[in-house]
Amino acid sequence: MAAIVNAESCVACGACVDACPCGAIEIKDVAVVSDDCAGCGACVDACPTGAISVE
């Protein structure tokens, strides 16, 4: 399982970056999740726009 970002909903606020214990997310134009994602869901809970899901 890994985090998936809906680019249309992402506002690149960085809340997910701060919440990620793996350091697997960076902000470019939108949040980008690396292969280091553990699928823990911390970013899902932190995202104010609901732009991230774990699949």
Hey, what domains does the chain have and what are their CATH numbers? 3-54 (3.30.70.20)
Asked if residue 16 lies in contact with residue 30, where contact means CB atoms within 8 angstroms, the answer is no
User: Given this model, what pLDDT does residue 25 score?
Assistant: 98
Structural tokens at position 15: 């809340």
User: Given this model, what pLDDT does residue 41 score?
Assistant: 97
Average pLDDT over residues 29-47: 97
DSSP state of 33: E
pLDDT band for 3, please (50, 70, 90 cuts).
very high
